[in-house]
Amino acid sequence: NAGVTQTPKFQVLKTGQSMTLQCAQDMNHNSMYWYRQDPGMGLRLIYYSASEGTTDKGEVPNGYNVSRLNKREFSLRLESAAPSQTSVYFCASSDRDRVPGNTIYFGEGSWLTVV
Amino acid sequence: KNQVEQSPQSLIILEGKNCTLQCNYTVSPFSNLRWYKQDTGRGPVSLTIMTFSENTKSNGRYTATLDADTKQSSLHITASQLSDSASYICVVRVMDSSYKLIFGSGTRLLVRP
């Protein structure tokens, strides 16, 4: 049981390049999320998906797109990377989105540097 | 504005000692408060979740308290171990249609032998 798996772990991009961060969960969760974590700041929600086939913008969606490929997989795409997108990205999932006490499980993170 | 502030930003203690981390929040309407542990280079892992009516919740050597009147929470670590070295993140959930989570920036704890 791997939980939430993200790839790649580390990536260096040049400004303007595109890339996709992959995320998969094996807990049969309906809800999945993408967060970014910057130094001195709390995690901020980029996009989330309450169920297969649905996606919604979070707090900082600009410059990103997402795809909920199926119930297991939720990918995050940077179409034209900018230095401001240098960050650590976390994928997460939960079994119940609209339940106050739900437990959210995080992946190990993806370190992205845009030069 | 919904905010979660944590103090101190960083803390160094000796192995075996106790410590207390603080969290103040201005989140409304309040749903619940969570503490996460984040090891260096890893994702956050849930320690506790407390609702409005819960004052104290324990998870092994970790004890979280919540004062909903003053909007303060603390995380007390007893008999610290080297493996407690990590960042501890306070998170508050908003009780509205967004169910949004507001994350604090964390307290970085270093336990020295």
DSSP state of A80: S
In this complex, do A42 and B44 lie within 8 Å of one another by their Cβ atoms? no
Mean pLDDT estimate for chain A: 93
Q: A31: number of CA atoms within 13 Å, CB side? A: 17
Residue of A nearest to B90 (CA): A42
B70 vs B47: CA distance, rounded Å: 22
Residues on chain A touching B89 (C-beta within 8 angstroms): 42-43
Question: Which one of B31, B43, B46 has the shortest CB-CB distance to A109?
Answer: B43
Asked whether residue A30 carries a pLDDT value surpassing 80, the answer given is: yes
Nearest chain A residue to B50, by CA: A101
State chain B's mean pLDDT as an integer: 94
pLDDT in tens, A3-27: 999 999 999 999 999 999 999 999 9
pLDDT one-digit tens code per residue, B32-85: 999 999 999 999 999 999 988 889 999 999 999 999 999 999 999 999 999 999
The whole-angstrom distance between residue B16's C-alpha and the CA centroid of its chain comes to: 20
What is the β-pairing status of strands A10-13 and A110-114?
parallel
b/e per residue, B45-59, with b = 16+ CB within 10 A? Answer: eebbbbbeeeeebee
What number of CA atoms fall less than 13 Å from residue B45's CA on the CB side?
11
- DSSP secondary-structure letter at A73? B
Give the confidence band of B31 by pLDDT, cuts at 50, 70, 90.
Answer: confident
CA distance A109 to chain B (A): 6
What is the sign, positive or negative, of the torsion defined by CA atoms of A84, A7, A68, A30? negative
